[in-house]
Amino acid sequence: MEIIVTSSALAQHLATLRQHGKKIGFVPTMGALHEGHISLIQEAKSITDIVVCSIFVNPTQFNDPKDLEKYPRPIERDKALLIAAECDVLFLPEVSVMYPENDPHWEIDLGDLDKIWEGKHRPGHFQGVTQIVYKLFQLVKPDIAFFGQKDFQQVMVIQRMIDEMKLAVQLHIVPTLRDANGLALSSRNARLSARGIEKAYTLSKALRYIEQHAHEKEVHTVIEEARLMIENVTGFELEYLAICETHSLEPITKVDDEKEYVVLVAAWLEGVRLIDNMLVH
């Protein structure tokens, strides 16, 4: 695995590969890798020739400086996982590489996508996400970029950015990887106690309940029942829970059996903010 830390070295390395007709797959991450990230690497390896993974803890997408400070950075473990997964290139830039002096101001029209759900609770977050992903796309110039379904709203935001900026990159969404009990794998899970992990299973149970009953009950009824499942577990503080259109993420009040929807949830547990989602067919 090539480990590259500068943008010029990355551009040079990838340009050579492109000259040989190699298709480039890209997996952007903030490190603290787990099996969910590795599933993205494996998916990329199955349909592209060269897989580039970036590890960069992006300061512009954190609303709370303490959250940025606490974000785990087990870089040696991350490298070992990527080598084991046979990743081809690791791009590991410093902040000064991605945000040089006199960096132009970034603002992109995301419609309502950065005003609802995650956008509402984390103002400015998606501007920071699109800013860094755009920068990385410009450097890597991938044919296909791979993202996990777990960050569903983020994926919709990035697709909007691709459309707005007319970028020649295809977005490939990989299903959420879950543990044996259904908990979505996340770097943040490491901050939960063993008891917290047990409680966290409630989120996926509530999503599964909605997925199973959305076509047979009123939307407000099934949402209320799932909300109580979560709030009856001591320690949970629910931020939002809704059935939404998959692209606009607008909440719905009635299910159309011909359409696909997504259930979105965010909740706090033991000072850790957990998000998850599930598609409703």
Q: Are 58 and 128 in contact (CB under 8 A)?
A: yes
The token duo for 254 is 């009635």
Per annotation, catalytic residue among 20, 34, 37, 172: 37
Sign of CA dihedral 83, 38, 78, 190: negative
CA atoms within 13 A on the CB side of 4: 21
Give whole-number Cα distances, 92 to 5, 23, 136, 249, in Å: 5, 21, 11, 33
Question: Is there a contact between 3 and 90 (Cβ–Cβ < 8 Å)?
Answer: yes
Beta bridge partners of residue 274, listed in sequence order: 267
Q: Would you call 37 a catalytic residue per the annotation?
A: yes
The structure tokens 């909300």 sit at 227
User: Are 55 and 29 spatial neighbours (Cβ–Cβ below 8 Å)?
Assistant: yes
Task: Name the phi and psi angles at 151, rounded to 5.
Answer: -95, 65
215 touches 267 (CB < 8 A): no
Q: Cα angle vertex 153, ends 202, 165, to 5°?
A: 165
Instruction: Provide the β-strand partners of residue 178.
Output: 184
Q: Which of 139, 140, 144 is nearest to 170 (CA)?
A: 144
Spatial separation of the C-alpha atoms in residues 214 and 242, rounded to whole Å: 11
Cα separation, 132 vs 54, in Å, equals 11
Residues assigned a catalytic role: 37
